[in-house]
Amino acid sequence: MLATASGETGGDWAQRTYEAMAPVYDDFTGHYESEAWIADLVEVLKGYGLTGKRLLDVGCGTGTSFLPMLAQGWEVTGCDISPAMLERAREKAGDAVQLAAADMLDLPRFGEFDLVWALDDALNYLLSPKELSQALGGMSANLAPTGLLLFDLNELQAYRTFFAETTVVESGGRRLTWRGMASADAPPGSICESQLEVAPGEVLTHRQRHFPEAEVRAALAGAGLECVAVYGHGLDGIPTQPLAPTHTKAIYIARKGA
């Protein structure tokens, strides 16, 4: 559900990780209150003039982020770098959604959408401000003139807690162990790693970067986008303002610049 990292980060490591993770992804994230979270995000977007019902879901993964929108009558196009994740999404949605394999760092122009989003911190797998601006530029090219862009990014609090702790999830007859390798005092802009053990001896590495708000705003401007609003939330998933150090996730809303 994410893009590859480039340069010194090892090319297609992220794609390979999610190809291997696809069979257990829904088990690992099954406790997320995704439908309620997405409903809250849509309500926030309505306050900023959301109109129409055409959605491009970038990094759509197994479809968790777009299924509630399909149920509300949205026309959905989803893309992901992992064919295995897309196959899971197809099993759920069938022909009700257009799906395509694509890297967010080289995003095709699928059309003009009223809403483009990238959820579940997919953008955190980009490891430099340059990559972030490049991905945002591709999303901007898919926006209708009045369209809105929404994406979330992990805040420093998430890296100092979840990415610094060990978590065990038992679901679907599987035992999944997440071992955070970050520091509890990781500084802003850190690249943090964790390992997910999906079976004895089978370990998947997750590498993410923290993007401070100033870097995100600069990346948006570099992509020709105007930052409309910034929200934050903690483990309750309820978007609030202003963004605070206690929040684990930041929510950004943007549109094409004047």
- pLDDT at position 9, please? 42
- pLDDT at position 72, please? 95
- pLDDT at position 45, please? 98
Inter-residue contact 186 to 161 (CB < 8 Å): no
- pLDDT at position 103, please? 95
- pLDDT at position 36, please? 93
- pLDDT at position 12, please? 78
- pLDDT at position 148, please? 98
Q: Is 88 helix (H, G, I), strand (E, B) or coil?
A: helix
CA distance 224 to 213: 17
CA distance 178 to 196: 4
- pLDDT at position 153, please? 98
CA contacts within 13 A on the Cβ side of 147? 21
What Cα–Cα distance (Å) separates residue 150 from each residue in 22, 71, 199, 207?
Answer: 24, 19, 35, 22
**Beta-ladder partners of 252:** 151, 230
Residue owning tokens 């399909």: 70
Element (H, E) at 137: helix 129-140
Inter-residue contact 73 to 43 (CB < 8 Å): no
Q: Which CATH architecture has domain 7-154+211-256?
A: 3-Layer(aba) Sandwich (3.40)
- pLDDT at position 30, please? 64
pLDDT below 50 — which residues of the chain?
1-11
Parse the chain into domains and list their residue ranges.
Answer: 7-154+211-256, 160-204
CA contacts within 13 A on the Cβ side of 159? 27
- pLDDT at position 172, please? 74
Contacts with 133 (C-beta within 8 Å, 6 or more apart), sequence order: 218, 219, 220, 222, 223
